[in-house]
């Protein structure tokens, strides 16, 4: 996959920012995101002929409008949401978007339901389902894994970059997290092209964990050769699911948990 942002039409116009507990992507430092906790399941697949026909019409209209606008987007899935006439659309190699039922308007971001004491983020579970599928498709040999000590109680996926101070803080508590039964699976996510070589050098090292430990502590990586590596693909995957800063911490179910947090805070969110 290409590293350039021009390949992802939503990356510049629709991508979300991260909170202050994460290191921003160097090209998106002014954007900000608030994480809310979902309290109800997302709407499921179309269950009636009327719903399926509506989704088919939406797919046709979106494809036509994408073509007219010169957007090369392939629709992989459409889901109805609890909001009338609003659909969740998954796109191949791009960030998911919301679309109106006529296919004339799209947007990307959080839809929040009001009315209860707790705010409900309509988007959270819809995106989590997409993200979970992306994680399931990853090959363990392409990740940087720090296993739990003893039986793993939780598995988390963390988008990381050795140039990020918050990633340093997060990594400093690795022994504590592992001792609490948390397996950490790092995904490479350099925050800009200038940080790509360092992450590729780590992923090409014979001892990837040792190289990462050294680099994130401020040391130099010795003897790392160039190799075929998944760093650019992992960066692109992060863009597709809405990552815009590091560390970006996700549960194995695809739920975004937040940026940097202490082990105690992480355990609380995993509950």
Q: Kindly list the catalytic residues.
A: 161, 164, 167, 191
Residues 6 or more apart whose Cβ sits within 8 Å of residue 109 = 14, 16, 98, 123
What's the N-to-C CA distance of the chain in angstroms?
A: 35
Nearest-angstrom CA–CA distance, 256 and 240: 14
SS3 label, residue 182: strand
Nearest-angstrom CA–CA distance, 155 and 152: 7
Nearest-angstrom CA–CA distance, 153 and 266: 13
Give the count of beta carbons closer than 10 Å to the beta carbon of residue 235.
25
Q: Is the Cβ–Cβ distance between 191 and 23 less than 8 Å?
A: yes
């Amino acid at each position: 996959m290409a590293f350039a942002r021009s390949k992802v039409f939503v990356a510049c116009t629709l991508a979300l920012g991260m909170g202050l507990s994460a290191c921003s992507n160097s090209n998106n430092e002014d954007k900000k995101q608030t994480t809310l906790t979902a309290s109800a399941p997302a709407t499921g697949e179309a269950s009636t002929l009327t719903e399926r026909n509506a989704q088919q019409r939406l797919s046709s209209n979106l494809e036509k409008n994408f073509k007219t606008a010169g957007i090369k987007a392939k629709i992989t899935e459409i889901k109805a949401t609890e909001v009338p006439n609003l659909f969740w659309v998954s796109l191949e190699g791009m960030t998911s978007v919301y679309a109106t039922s006529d296919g004339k308007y799209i947007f990307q971001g959080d839809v929040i339901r009001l009315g209860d004491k707790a705010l409900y983020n309509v988007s959270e579970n819809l995106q989590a389902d997409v993200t979970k599928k992306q994680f399931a498709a990853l090959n363990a040999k392409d990740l940087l894994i720090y296993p739990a000590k003893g039986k793993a109680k939780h598995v988390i996926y963390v988008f990381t970059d050795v140039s990020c101070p918050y990633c340093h803080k997060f990594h400093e508590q690795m022994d504590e997290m592992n001792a609490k039964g948390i397996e950490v699976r790092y995904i490479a996510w350099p925050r800009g092209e200038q940080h790509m070589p360092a992450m590729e050098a780590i992923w090409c090292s014979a001892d990837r964990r040792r190289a990462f430990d050294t680099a994130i502590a401020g040391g130099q990586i010795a003897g790392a050769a160039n190799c075929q590596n998944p760093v650019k693909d992992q960066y692109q995957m992060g863009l597709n699911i809405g990552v815009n800063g590091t560390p970006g911490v996700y549960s194995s179910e695809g739920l975004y948990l937040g940026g940097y947090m202490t082990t105690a805070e992480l355990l609380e969110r995993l509950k």
